[in-house]
Structure 1
């Protein structure tokens, strides 16, 4: 059975830990979601571009990444376990009939994928005491359920109560030039921040969330561009926080 997470990079104390909750679109063979396979390549299944960017970043000393290895349609790791949407029955206008399951089946999925992933994130934060945690996601510039909605930002920075690292991130990203940086956009970290609330806010761990626009990171050139931008920004944030 495939593990619930992938580790990229070499662990080191006081470095940067990248947490990628939606890195994979993998659906195990024994789970039938009841949807067309075309949706496995869609943004409802995963955050395209985040896995290669995380791996590129961990080519650098002091950077470690943990990536979820199953689709967010199997289990959404950026939710709390008691939320209904942790196993979504509908996403951006698409019904997921295979997720209309019993409470016991829900618990089996959580035990198999959600809990091991979060246990490892928690252990990495406690053991490595990173100078900074980067919660890495990507967002679709358009939605089927609301085609009139415009999401023009190149990168959005999300946070909840802890704002310090995010304020630095916005400052340093804007200084890069030619980037449309969103503050709490395309949605608010005060409403959608489960993993960071759990592993960082609760422990006083410095972090920020980054949402990258998917059409800018679908190809290796764009992925490398944003990996380099995030590396520069994270290094500056670490210095600013010291």
Structure 2
């Protein structure tokens, strides 16, 4: 299933795993001019590099489906609260986005076209086939352009108030020989809007994962992480149901 705002890969199953990736695409619709250089669309400010193929690969497994954003986060950032101006960002990591300097009507039109259909469809998907676990999948750049500090973690685990899945997943990831960030490279208490809305608000179990982009910017790494996350997500789902 594909919509202007989202795509659904695979068939959601009751008691299965739903992989949610807000920033899986760098697509900019032809009728939107962001006023940026095309090469910016290949960078982390425009897309969570690698997560789209990982979600799609995981959705080939029985009981797994992937719900993915279908436009660049520079067009509409689905992992923000609707009332915040950053839902249609005018800048990101030092890059200005002049095409997003919208008036109220233009901003509202962007929300109506992308943000609300995305979240309405995600809510309907979860309600129709409640998963045992929602895997919120993002990726992060090894170094922000606006920072001198490298990010050494291979993977981060993020959460807000509900840390059930995180406490199970962190040692499983560490057992794979990975450097794991607990609320790193940033905190899920600050950046968790989609899971706050669709998981925490209803007490649904979820696991927030951030993978460093240089590990999954190629097919080999994507396949490795798709298999790893499938194994770990299943173990987490079983553990928190006991």
TM range (shorter): over 0.9
Deviation for aligned residue 1:110 = 0.7
Q: Is the 8 A contact 2:11 2:63 kept in 1?
A: yes
Deviation for aligned residue 1:2 = 5.2
Residue of structure 2 equivalent to 1:157: 157
CA distance in 1, matches of 2:182, 2:32: 37
Deviation for aligned residue 1:3 = 2.2
CA distance in 2, matches of 1:238, 1:80: 27
> Residues 110-158 of structure 1: CA distance to partner in whole angstroms, max 9, x if unpaired?
1111111100111112121110001000000011111x11101111000
Deviation for aligned residue 1:52 = 0.2
Q: Is the 8 A contact 2:13 2:130 kept in 1?
A: no
> Residues 62-85 of structure 1: CA distance to partner in whole angstroms, max 9, x if unpaired?
101100100000000000111010
> Residues 56-114 of structure 1: CA distance to partner in whole angstroms, max 9, x if unpaired?
10110010110010000000000011101000011000111111001110111111111
CA distance in 1, matches of 2:120, 2:165: 24
Residue of structure 1 equivalent to 2:56: 55
CA distance in 2, matches of 1:181, 1:11: 29
Residue of structure 1 equivalent to 2:26: 25
Deviation for aligned residue 1:9 = 1.1
Deviation for aligned residue 1:10 = 1.5
Residue of structure 1 equivalent to 2:230: 231
Q: 1:15-164 to 2 correspondence within 5 Å?
A: 15-146=16-147, 148-164=148-164
CA distance in 1, matches of 2:41, 2:130: 35
2:172 matches 1:172: yes
**TM-score (norm. length: structure 1):** 0.97
CA distance in 2, matches of 1:24, 1:114: 14
* 3-state SS of paired residue (1:212): strand
- Kindly report structure 1 stretches of 4+ aligned residues shifted beyond 2 Å: none
Structure 1 unaligned spans of 5+? none
Distance 1:205 1:2, change over 3 A: closer
